[in-house]
Amino acid sequence: MSPGVALFGGLTVIAGVLGVVAVLAGRVRPMTLALGFAGVAAQWGLTYVAMTGVGQWAGEVLFALTVLVPVAVGWASTRWAADRSSPVPAGLVSGFVNLLVVGSVIQGKDAKAALSEAALWSMGLLVGSAVLAGIGGAMGRRNPRPGRLPEPVCLFAMVTAATIFLLLITGGLVTGLEAGLAVPDWPNSFGHNMLLYPVSEMKEGRYYEHAHRLFGMLVGLSSFTLAALCWRHESRPSVRWAASTLLLMVCVQGLLGGLRVTGMFTLSQDPSMLAPSTLLAIAHGIFGQIVFATAAWIAAATSASWRSASMRPITLDATGIRLWSLIAPVVLLLQLFLGAAYRHLQVSPSAEGEAIRHPIWAMHGHLGFSVVALIAVLIAASRMSAAGREGLRPLGRAGSAMALIVAIQVGLGLVALGAVLMRRGPAIPLWELLSTSAHQATGALLLMAAVQGAAWSRRLLPAGDRAAVTPAFAKA
């Protein structure tokens, strides 16, 4: 199959899937969609870990857990959302989304055999997911507890944010393993349609890079569905356009990731025709965390607490809290740039005994500015926590989360720095891979918490001399 035909086939499939999802967003209850997509995210995460070489027994256990995920989806449908979702449709949603990766496991030698195998896999996924979800639903009916889940659109936004976070983790592992160019072409994979690249060929760096692309596809589908749900079920124009903006941001992020590999719009696999870009790799890493924070903000804005909240006066300096809540994410973005530059501009050793060559300006900048970032986060967190003690609980929770996450982040940063400085040779030690990837992922969580804090401070605190009273909100 030529690269052009492979790309056209992939675009046709994706367009068809998006069309079906657009119909589902209008016909299927939002809670059912949210639970179905949550199941897919859990299954993909478990499968990803199982295929990283964690060992035969651990891998088997993880694969078994993926089978139990539809049971959990059905159980949640009847136990916590019996009036807003049904287990079997939720299972069918999970099965339908999982059809995206069916092509990667087909091994038919000719077109007829491949189509037969695809049909069997598709029916197995749909029927199996529905049956397992039905079993979970029967189990959940024994002790239902309605109203325990967030509002449906809010829950779907949370699921979307979770899929983006998984994408960030897989991207961090790609960078940590120096596998960003393991697949030389884009949007195809070694000339294959991305959806049809055989799982049997996903070895070592190719697995991590290609799996990252598949997670990106899941993020794109989730973002598209979220935008459709917001336009159908959200009356606030700001939220509708925020969801649409998120979808656009996800598309831009995918484009940045692809051009980072090729450097230009081309389907060629010829190294002489490609120009991989480190600058785009840095931009890709930074923008991904901004996308994640945006999805988390939409989740907050669609929550019941956000809807019921309004500004109220407090005895503290509201203007100061609003100011520091804005300073913290800005400072973290600068620190993120320095960290991304340091990580991507490192030059790995080519022989045993050699050390990593560090970009000195980025290393010292990231280390030195971390003190500024730590102070800014702690000041903002302490002021938000103080507001929380006066009844503004969402703001207090954001402050507490920032304080906890920044403490973990500092510890992980020290461990990651030690691992990088101690490495000698091209082999990447496991503790370096885990510490650097965890440091990046925790940084994304910290930026997300800071953005949440800034959003809640503007939702709850008056600017200047403005005042509003909402006595009931303190109890919310």
C-alpha–C-alpha distance, residues 419 and 59, integer Å: 27
Same domain, yes or no: 184 and 229: yes
The pLDDT tens digits for 107-156 are 767 778 888 888 999 999 999 999 999 999 999 988 777 767 899 999 99
Same domain, yes or no: 434 and 369: yes
CB atoms closer than 10 angstroms to residue 143: 8
Looking at 255, 276, 305, the residue that finishes a domain is 305
**Which residues, in sequence order, are bridge partners of residue 355?**
424
- Identify the pLDDT of residue 272: 81
Residue with tokens 């650097």: 436
**Which residues, in sequence order, are bridge partners of residue 347?**
357
The contacts of residue 364 (CB under 8 Å, 6+ apart) are none
For the residues of 380-414, what is the DSSP string, one character each?
HHHHHHHHHHTT-HHHHHHHHHHHHHHHHHHHHHH
User: Whole domain around residue 436: which residue ranges?
Assistant: 309-476
The pLDDT tens digits for 340-389 are 999 999 999 988 889 999 999 999 999 999 999 999 999 999 999 999 99
What's the domain count of the chain? 2
Average pLDDT score over residue span 266-292: 92
Same domain, yes or no: 376 and 277: no
Burial class of 131 by CB neighbour count within 10 A (0 to 12, 13 to 18, 19+): middle
Cα-based torsion angle of the residue sequence 140, 141, 147, 151 in order, rounded to the nearest 10 degrees: 60
Provide the H-helix boundaries in 346-359.
none
Average pLDDT score over residue span 256-274: 89
Looking at 254, 280, 305, the residue that finishes a domain is 305
Same domain, yes or no: 382 and 262: no
DSSP-based three-state secondary structure for 389: helix
Same domain, yes or no: 41 and 139: yes
- pLDDT band with cut points at 50, 70 and 90 for residue 466: very low
C-alpha–C-alpha distance, residues 304 and 313, integer Å: 21
Which is nearest to 375 in space by CA: 338, 403, 400, 341? 403
Same domain, yes or no: 329 and 193: no
C-alpha–C-alpha distance, residues 316 and 401, integer Å: 20
Burial class of 255 by CB neighbour count within 10 A (0 to 12, 13 to 18, 19+): middle
Regarding predicted confidence, which is higher, 5 or 391? Answer: 391
Which is nearest to 96 in space by CA: 68, 73, 130? 130
pTM: 0.93
Burial class of 339 by CB neighbour count within 10 A (0 to 12, 13 to 18, 19+): buried
- Identify the pLDDT of residue 108: 67
Looking at 259, 280, 305, the residue that finishes a domain is 305
Question: Would the pLDDT of 473 be above 50?
Answer: no
Residue 248: both structure tokens together: 């656009």
Same domain, yes or no: 321 and 284: no
Same domain, yes or no: 384 and 289: no
Same domain, yes or no: 63 and 170: yes
- Identify the pLDDT of residue 1: 58
Question: Would the pLDDT of 471 be above 50?
Answer: no
Residue 104: both structure tokens together: 């990667």
Total H helices, total E strands in the chain = 14, 0
The pLDDT tens digits for 445-456 are 999 999 999 999
Same domain, yes or no: 404 and 318: yes
The pLDDT tens digits for 309-322 are 877 777 888 999 99
Same domain, yes or no: 33 and 162: yes
Side-chain-side CA neighbours of 309 within 13 Å: the count stands at 24
Same domain, yes or no: 157 and 258: yes
Average pLDDT score over residue span 417-422: 94
Average pLDDT score over residue span 85-114: 88
- Identify the pLDDT of residue 350: 86
- Identify the pLDDT of residue 462: 84
- Identify the pLDDT of residue 468: 41
Which is nearest to 165 in space by CA: 298, 54, 66, 45? 45
